[in-house]
Chain A
Amino acid sequence: MSTVNKRWRGVAKLVTDAVEHGSRAVERIQKETAQRPFGILEMIPGVAVPARVVHVLHDVTVSGVHGAIRLVTRVVDGGVGVAFDLAESESHEDGSDPRRGEPTQSSS
């Protein structure tokens, strides 16, 4: 694999990782932040039961949205990987230099 391809794959992987970890962190924060008001409401008689229902719905929705974000990111990452594989195999079949497009590096 050429250095350029390896690096492009690295960029795609890094973006995927960032979205994955970022989404998990934001999901956790959203749930923890919501826990405070819901926790208070769930201690009040009469409101506790509906508050509990809304709390569960809220958490499920948050998990669903972030799960979808991560899923789409993984699908796109997989697609990008396949595209890289195809591009690389085509360049080999063409007999072209896989190192073509290597970044020009200057002297130190």
Chain B
Amino acid sequence: MGRKLENALGILNGTIGDYLARTGNGLATPMTFVHDGAPMAVRRDVLARAYPDATSRVVVLLHGIMCTETVWTLPEGGDYGAFLARDFGLTPLYIRYNSGLAIADNGVAFADLLESLINEWPVPVEEILLLGFSMGGLVARSACHVASGERYHWLPRVRRAIYVGTPHLGAPLERAGRTLTKVLRAVGDPYARLVAEIGDLRSLGMKDLGDANLRHEDRAPGRAALALRDARHPVPLLPSIQHYLVAGSLAVHPQLAALFGDALVPLASGTNGLRASSGTLALPPGHVKVLADMGHMTLAHHPHVYAQIREWCEASR
């Protein structure tokens, strides 16, 4: 019941979480670390009790939109965090957050949370590995962007970031939805306008996915209002971090695979443009992996994805 309730709240937060937060509704999920399914305060005594074997290297896992940390759980048990603990001695820390908030707001909250973590963690933190699924990867990028411009002490401790099914160049489904609501509004019929208004109730977080807006200023009015193409992202991946990307592909035919990707994120977006333009490679090809026959949600809990994560972690030890 508890897990189902939290999952239902995750969906609700992803859909209208910004409204819930704005109106002070108790259903809004604050960003917290979660241990054994319960929110955990970032206090040294609490952390020491929850993690008696805390290590100096941690992996922080961020779920995607409309999810909770349970999205990481493999059908046969375990998750990427637990496997990284087993194989590399990293202490896994799971984040739960309101995925309906603007990505920029969650980025700031995440940056603050990590700052508290390194101050309160029972042992000195030497390394933070960021692991984000879908929107979680964008929240991690947004937090890194915030931390690079201000005095945050955790950023130098991030050597590696792994993005799983993250729409680095945005999600065309959201852009299509945005176009549809614009068209419905333009029709002038009151019923069509009502449908458009209902469509526009979707959260800021969801809208941010359209163009992968990491900052509030990226959401400039009129920008790409009716565009279905990827926006070129104005916030680059930080060069001080080694970035690794996993993208999924459902189709076998290369062109279909590139177009539809994992059904929600096209390959060009999931690979940060690697597949779109080989002349502007942002990352070494070895840092990008496309896994065939893999739907979007499956990417968060699949042994093949972990095998790739493990390979990268071994190579960059």
A-side residues, CB < 8 A to B, are 1, 3, 5-11, 13-14, 17, 25, 28-29, 32-33, 103-108
Q: Verify B190–A108 contact, CB threshold 8 A.
A: no
| Residue ID in chain B nearest A31 by CB atoms | B190
Contact sample, A vs B, 10 pairs, CB 8 Å cutoff: A7-B9, A10-B20, A10-B25, A11-B27, A28-B190, A29-B191, A104-B1, A105-B2, A107-B37, A108-B94
* Smallest CB gap from A106: residue in B: B3
Which residues on B sit within 8 Å (CB–CB) of A103? 1-2, 5-6
Chain A residue contacts of B69, Cβ below 8 A: 108
> Taking chain A's interface residues, is the majority helix, strand, or loop, or is none over half, making it mixed?
helix
Query: Any chain A CB within 8 A of the CB of B26?
Result: yes
Q: Are B37 and A7 in contact (CB under 8 A)?
A: no
Nearest chain-A residue to B5 (Cβ)? A103
Q: Which residues of A contact B191 (CB under 8 A)?
A: 29
Interface residues of B (CB under 8 A from A): 1-3, 5-6, 9, 20, 23, 25-28, 34, 36-38, 68-70, 72-73, 79, 94, 190-191, 194, 197
A103-B6, A106-B2, A108-B79 are known contacts. Are A7 and B27 too (CB-CB below 8 A)? Answer: yes
Instruction: Tell me which of B25, B26, B197 has the highest count of chain A C-beta atoms within 10 A of its own C-beta.
Output: B26
What is the CA–CA distance of A103 and B38 in the complex, to the nearest angstrom? 10
Question: Given A103-B5, A104-B2, A25 and B37 touching (CB < 8 A)?
Answer: no
Q: A25-B194, A32-B190 are in contact. Are A106 and B23 (CB under 8 A)?
A: no
* Chain B residues whose CB sits within 8 angstroms of the CB of A17 once the complex forms: 23
Known pairs A10-B26, A14-B25; A105 contacts B190 (CB<8 A): no
A7's partner among B1, B26, B38, B70 (CB-CB below 8 A) is: B26
User: What is the CA–CA distance of A21 and B5 in the complex, to the nearest angstrom?
Assistant: 25
Whether A10 contacts B27 in the complex (CB less than 8 A), given A25-B197, A108-B79, comes out as yes
CB-CB < 8 A to B79: which residues of A?
108
List residues of chain B with CB within 8 A of the CB of A3.
26
- Cβ contacts under 8 Å, B6 to chain A: 103, 105
